[in-house]
Structure 1
Amino acid sequence: MPRYEYRCRPCDTTFELNRPMAESSAPAVCPQGHEDTVKLLSTVAVGGSAAAPAAPAPRGAGGGCCGGGGCG
């Protein structure tokens, strides 16, 4: 189930709730009981990276030009 982050306007508390996507925009009550809350944007959507870091090149079993057999 997705986790959503909310901020309470009266007490400025940030809190998270697990709820179905269909209920993501439904009113959320903060832990202090205030009903004036807003849903925050996900940090993944705001601060995500455009490209993943490159994976290291695979390493062979060794040996270089002669496949590990001990050249010359």
Structure 2
Amino acid sequence: MPVYEYTCEKCNNRFDELVRSMATEAKPACPACGSPKTNKVLSVFAVGGEGAAKSSSGGGDDPMCGRCGGAPGSCQM
């Protein structure tokens, strides 16, 4: 079940909503003011990326990223 982020047109409250079906077009009411005038907003999230790999490997010159433990370059990270 996806979690969508919404903003309220009336009070500018930003909130998350668990949506049981992606086909559902019904917009949730704002939990702060109860207004049905809400819009989906682009949600930005972070997944451990290149910066995390460099900081966890210690020296930064090590060819292995430390994630898979395989030979250098085997996971193409």
Coarse TM-score class (shorter-chain normalised): 0.5 to 0.7
Q: How does 1:1-72 map to 2 (within 5 A)?
A: 1-19=1-19, 20-23=21-24, 25-31=25-31, 32-44=33-45, 52-53=49-50, 55-56=65-66, 58=69
Deviation at 1:36, TM superposition (A): 1.1
- Structure 1 unaligned segments of length 5 or more: list them: 59-72
Q: Alpha carbon RMSD of aligned pairs, Å?
A: 2.3
- Structure of greater relative contact order (alpha carbons < 8 Å, 6+ residues apart): 1
Matched letter for residue 3 of structure 2: R
Aligned residues: 52
The structure that has the greater radius of gyration is 1
State the TM-score, normalized to the length of structure 1.
0.57
List structure 1 segments (4+ residues) > 3 angstroms apart after TM superposition: none
- Structure 2 unaligned segments of length 5 or more: list them: 54-64, 70-77
